[in-house]
Chains A and B, each alone.
Chain A
Amino acid sequence: MTASVKLVLVQEAYDDILRRSLSKLSCDLGRLIYLASTRDYNTGSYHHDGLSSRFTPEIARKALEIAHRQVFYKVSAYSLQELVEEIEIYFAASHEDPKKVLLTWQKLEPFRIAVPVEVNPVVSRLFLSNIRLALAIFRFRQQSAPSDPSTASLPR
């Protein structure tokens, strides 16, 4: 397979994952967590059954890696205000108690696994720091305005 053919296939696979899976998620933070979850914890390589069967495991791996990096950089560039909104949407879409999810996120910091392998360490640190701050702001809002309609609308 020539390099240019491979590149076209990776682009097709990338468009495919965007159309079939990522577009159905409600926010970029959700997309980021989803893409990170397609990565093997031990080897760091990506895998997606549907995409692998439509293309090849190698093409699928590359497309997922690119998509992961792109969404990661997009979320890392968000302002704090946008990130708090992303967290609100993500928690609401999880269909779990937002307070419980919030506590788990603050304690275990599961968002750490969302960082791709080959990224600038400063951007990686900015992302983690911003998520921590957004969680603190979200928590503060929940505590200070329990009757706030925006938090009241979240599923319990």
Chain B
Amino acid sequence: MIDVAGSFTLGTILVFVLLIWRKSSAALRDLPMDLGPLTSEAESCPQEFVARIFSREDASFVDSTCAATVRALFLRERKGVALLWIRQTSLRIRNILREHTMQVRHSENLHFQSELGIFARYLQLRALCGLMFAAVALTGPVHVQKLALRMDTLFQRFVRIRESLAAPAPAPQLRGAGSR
């Protein structure tokens, strides 16, 4: 049987989860409906822009010089851009894994450990995307700059690993080739 403290903790967690869900749903509604270009293989967002989206410097500038209305506009605008970046990153991660899976299906020399590694990284990144989405929807982008930069680094690493696995293997050397 659950005691009073247990019920209280459970209730608090439930309220917290509901709050995150509501905020995230509201944030999703604010995102542009047409996400077509996000799914394409367009160039990725350079890291200096990721740092700018989550910039504390801009937030401090707005805080120190502006009225509440401008501060609210700043928070709304930056939140929109941050959520778009998370959504774009999430879609690209999904696309990369989908392409990789399709390629692996036709592959004859499958390395189980490499495949497990890439899948683990995929799960890690998708979890980070979810966490970032909830955090940005709840508190705004300014407080999660470090996490965003970490996620971007992990994403770039994921892309590189995938590229190295997708690169065609060097042509097998014929026995005796090059020797006389």
Which A residues have a C-beta under 8 Å from some C-beta of B?
Answer: 73, 76-77, 79-81, 118-123, 125-126, 129-130, 132-133, 136-137, 140-141, 144
Contact = CB atoms under 8 A, between A and B. Distances in A.
B58 A79 contact: yes
A81 B59 CA distance: 10
B13 interface: no
Contact of B81 (A77, A80, A125, A137): A125
Contacts of A126: 49, 52-53, 81
B88 interface: yes
Nearest to A144: B67
A133 B45 contact: no
Contacts of B45: 120, 122-123
Contacts, number: 78
Chain B interface size band reads: 20 to 34
A152 B14 CA distance: 55
B61 A79 contact: yes
Contacts of A76: 49, 52
B118 interface: no
Nearest to A139: B70
Interface of B: 37-38, 42-46, 48-49, 52-53, 55, 57-58, 61-62, 65-67, 69-70, 73-74, 77-78, 80-81, 84-85, 88
B55 A77 contact: no
